[in-house]
Chain A
Amino acid sequence: MELTVDRRWDLVDRIAKETVEVGVYRPSLKDALADVTVRPATGIPVAIAVIYGFWMFFCEFAGTLFTDGFFVKIFDGHWLPWLQEVFPFGLGNWFYELMVDAGHMENGVLVASDNCFEAFGVLTSGLFIAIGVVLPAIIAFYLILGLLEDMGYLPRLAVLVDTVLHKIGLHGYAIVPTFLSLGCNVPGVSATRSLETRKQRFMMITLLGVFIPCGAQIGMMQDLIPAQIGWVFLTLLVGYLGVGWILNKVWPGGESPEILMDVPPYQMPTWGNIGRKLWIRVSGFFKVAVPFVLLGCVIVGILYLTGAMDHIANALEPLLTNVFGVPSDTVAPLVAGFLRKDLAVGMLEPIEMTTFQLFTSVVLLCIYFPCLATFALMIKELNWKEILGCLATLVVVVFIFGGILHGIGTIGGWY
């Protein structure tokens, strides 16, 4: 026999009455902390401090300590010169070019590269990007995320941002998929399953796919354009909120439901669990990302060697230079970006362009397409109509953002 809802609750009450005895409860430090972090007057400053601290740790730990302080020295000072010395064939040979160093022309002479960003071989740039830059970034990100997750801070952040996110048709809980996406878009897209309506899920997945850069990409950006990265985030945030607001108006599916969410008590995080999660996520990242970065290097190298890249660049030149105001050389990173965004950002480094063009290229790389792994999951999670909606949004966003940035650059005289 099955009970009705009311009779079942009735039974629950009777069982609880006989078996549960609730004594007095003395609020503890945890409860005081819970109050402080969720009340707007104190909670909002705390939230800003937490996010700022998160970012500072990310930059210091990943960028300064590991990448600049350690890996750059190893890769540029020892690994690259060693490979240049011992690898057979030498400069000018196609296999050497693919694996170690393509070199570059200086006064009509082909000279060897002196750093791993420019060498662009599988074993040099490929490994440097994957291990030297992205690995520390991913570790730093997941270390802090794990800490916030285990303490129970995220639901509080969700309450605080609900006011804003509700206005664009999402609710505060969207902060969870968004944070996860800042590590990697794939788990971020999966996490949208805990949103209630199809419309919310569609909007969230679209916004994640278009506007949220992953940890690997952020690590590379932080390394390449530390001075402009704030502007990149601001541009993306404007897009996230603005496009969210518009999608909410135009996409059918009615009003967004309101937040209804448990806010679990704080708890002491344990290093054991944080370490275990870090390991699960970093090793998962490694299994997927490293082969893809190396594969990306090989594919791009082959496109260059066969001359195909020049054809694509010529074909897209009018679009890239006239509409977006970036050099046609950026076509190579855009191709690589289908596979890995981190690799793509790294490929921007050797291209000659102004700072503003570099900034525009980085923004375009974020929004023009999610990586293939994310896109595959999006296809699984959305129906065909939603996929078309998502792709249409993407195309419109790329043209509008690219165009506006080009306009701003022209007015500012930054070309």
Chain B
Amino acid sequence: MDKKLSEMRYEEEGRIKKIEESLRAQIAGMGIREGKDIKMMTKQPIKGPVVVSVDRSNTSIGLGLADKIIVEVKR
């Protein structure tokens, strides 16, 4: 099932399917690319940022940016 990263629940895992063009190059430099496994570590309340884990490194991403990433969620 596909989901926006911003909609993923806490501790949910999946594989990155698509990243919007505007974000792709920038976020790739931080190790987050299409085809990578991703895990939701935490979500901050009231539209705060998410923290995800990719290749064992953690990255904090604003919710608006997380909207631009589509993840195929593992069930």
Per-residue CB contact flags for chain B residues 34-75 toward chain A (1 = under 8 Å, else 0) read 000000011011111101000111111111110000000000
Q: Is A35 touching B65 in the complex (CB atoms < 8 A)?
A: no
Q: Is A9 touching B28 in the complex (CB atoms < 8 A)?
A: yes
Per-residue CB contact flags for chain B residues 20-44 toward chain A (1 = under 8 Å, else 0) read 0000111110100100000001101
Q: Does A40 reach chain B (CB closer than 8 Å)?
A: yes
Contacts of B58 in A (CB 8 A): 34, 262-265
Query: If A5-B25, A9-B33, A38-B51 touch, does A259 touch B61 (CB 8 Å cutoff)?
Result: yes
Q: Is B46 touching A263 in the complex (CB atoms < 8 A)?
A: no
Q: Is A40 touching B44 in the complex (CB atoms < 8 A)?
A: yes
The residue of chain B having its C-beta at the shortest distance from the C-beta of A163 within the complex is B48
Q: How many residues of A contact B (CB 8 A)?
A: 28
Q: Is A5 touching B28 in the complex (CB atoms < 8 A)?
A: yes
Contacts of A171 in B (CB 8 A): 62
Q: Is B56 touching A259 in the complex (CB atoms < 8 A)?
A: no
Per-residue CB contact flags for chain A residues 20-35 toward chain B (1 = under 8 Å, else 0) read 0010010000000011
Q: Is B44 touching A262 in the complex (CB atoms < 8 A)?
A: no
Q: Is A259 touching B62 in the complex (CB atoms < 8 A)?
A: yes
Q: Is B49 touching A163 in the complex (CB atoms < 8 A)?
A: yes
Q: Is A40 touching B57 in the complex (CB atoms < 8 A)?
A: no
A14 to B26, CA, bound (A): 21
Stretch at the interface among A152-160, A327-335, A395-403: A152-160
Report A6 CB to chain B, min CB distance, Å: 9
Report A194 CB to chain B, min CB distance, Å: 14
Q: Is B63 touching A39 in the complex (CB atoms < 8 A)?
A: no
Q: Is B60 touching A40 in the complex (CB atoms < 8 A)?
A: no
A263 to B46, CA, bound (A): 21
Q: Is B42 touching A40 in the complex (CB atoms < 8 A)?
A: yes
CB neighbors of B among A3-53 (8 A):
5, 9, 22, 25, 34-35, 38-40, 43
Q: Is B61 touching A258 in the complex (CB atoms < 8 A)?
A: yes
Query: If A9-B28, A172-B49 touch, does A260 touch B44 (CB 8 Å cutoff)?
Result: no
A9 to B28, CA, bound (A): 9
Q: Is A260 touching B48 in the complex (CB atoms < 8 A)?
A: no
Question: Which of A160, A258, A262 sits near B63, CB closer than 8 Å?
Answer: A258
Query: If A5-B28, A38-B51 touch, does A260 touch B61 (CB 8 Å cutoff)?
Result: yes
Report A172 CB to chain B, min CB distance, Å: 7
**Other 19 A-B pairs with CB < 8 A, given A172-B49, A259-B62, A263-B60:** A5-B24, A9-B33, A34-B58, A39-B42, A159-B49, A159-B60, A162-B49, A163-B47, A163-B49, A166-B49, A258-B62, A259-B49, A259-B61, A260-B30, A262-B30, A262-B58, A262-B59, A263-B59, A265-B58
Enumerate chain B interface residues (CB-CB to A < 8 A): 24-28, 30, 33, 41-42, 44-49, 51, 55-65
A-B contact pairs, 7 of them (CB 8 A): A40-B48, A159-B51, A160-B44, A162-B49, A258-B64, A260-B65, A263-B60
